[in-house]
């Protein structure tokens, strides 16, 4: 689905060639619910088996909130620390005081499952000659683990972490990293994210955008809006081939 009203003013989109496809990582390529889901299915999961969806939702919500609040406060710590702090809040809220469960959830989070269509779509884009990159809040170590465990080593031309700038999305300094690394203008980038706030911010920055709206959520009312919207990544090879 296209959003004709979402074009960045002053850009002749028909004259722009996409030189690079940049993906958000968590929630876009990697399933952030996979850690709690898998832990809940293991023997001895106990209370987690019944409550993992709530715990996973709380974990993700606090993880994002902490990135925004730390950015506003100028109190950056890397995403691995934020992920641990958010999990501790979620476990406390669920009444689960279990150091072994905590350790297991964190271990699984380092090796999140990619969404089902991800390997096939990335392979199709590579066959089209599209350059690929990741731009993520994740720490460098987390992203390396996630890419390797998903069997995606060698797929991306760059894996860019906010560790390089010490602030989280949606700070423009994060989006600046793409141009700094590849030497291209924002309008030559197709930015792909499942996070509504991220895609709106990327659009306002000047990227061409695809919002992967996996949750069928309403569009965020922010300072930008997505150019394209899809339920998952399957439409991406055809879309980018037509840009």
Q: Which residue blocks in the chain are alpha helix, DSSP H?
A: 34-40, 47-73, 79-94, 99-109, 118-127, 140-149, 172-182, 196-205, 236-241
Cα 155 to Cα 157: distance, rounded to the nearest angstrom = 7
Active site residue 113: no
Picking from 16, 103, 96, the residue whose alpha carbon sits closest to that of residue 48 is 96
**216: its two tokens:** 């069928």
Query: pLDDT tens across 92-144, in order?
Result: 999 999 999 999 999 999 999 999 999 999 999 999 999 999 999 999 999 99
Residue 46: pLDDT band (50, 70, 90) is confident
19, exposed or middle or buried, with CB in 10 Å at 0-12, 13-18, 19+?
A: middle
Tokens of 71: 């950015």
How far apart (Å, rounded) are the C-alpha atoms in residues 86 and 91? 9
Beta-carbon contacts of residue 161 (< 8 Å; ≥ 6 apart):
79, 136, 137, 138, 139, 140, 143
pLDDT tens track for 166-218 = 999 999 999 999 999 999 999 999 999 999 999 999 999 999 999 999 999 99
What stretch of H or E contains 211? strand 208-212
pTM of the shown model: 0.92
List 24, 58, 113, 163, catalytic entry: 24
């Amino acid at each position: 689905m296209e959003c004709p009203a979402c074009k960045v003013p002053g850009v002749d989109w028909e004259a722009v060639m996409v030189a690079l496809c940049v993906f958000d990582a968590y929630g876009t390529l990697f399933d952030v619910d996979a850690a709690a889901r898998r832990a809940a299915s293991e023997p001895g999961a106990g209370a987690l088996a019944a409550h993992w969806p709530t715990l996973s939702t709380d974990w993700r919500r606090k993880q994002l909130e902490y990135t925004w609040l730390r950015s506003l406060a100028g109190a950056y710590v890397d995403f691995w620390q934020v992920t641990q702090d958010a999990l501790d809040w979620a476990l406390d809220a669920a009444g689960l005081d279990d150091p072994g469960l905590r350790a297991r959830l964190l271990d699984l989070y380092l090796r999140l499952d990619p969404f089902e269509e991800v390997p096939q779509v990335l392979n199709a884009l590579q066959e089209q000659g599209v350059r690929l990159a990741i731009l993520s809040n994740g720490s460098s170590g987390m992203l390396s683990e996630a890419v390797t465990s998903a069997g995606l080593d060698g797929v991306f031309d760059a894996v860019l972490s906010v560790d390089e700038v010490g602030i989280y999305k949606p700070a423009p300094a994060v989006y600046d990293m793409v141009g700094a690394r590849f030497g291209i203008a924002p309008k030559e980038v197709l930015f792909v994210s499942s996070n509504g706030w991220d895609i709106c911010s990327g659009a306002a920055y000047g990227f061409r955008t695809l919002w992967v709206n996996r949750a069928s959520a309403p569009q965020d009312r922010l300072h930008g809006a997505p150019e394209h919207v899809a339920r998952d990544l399957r439409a991406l090879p055809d879309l980018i081939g037509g840009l």
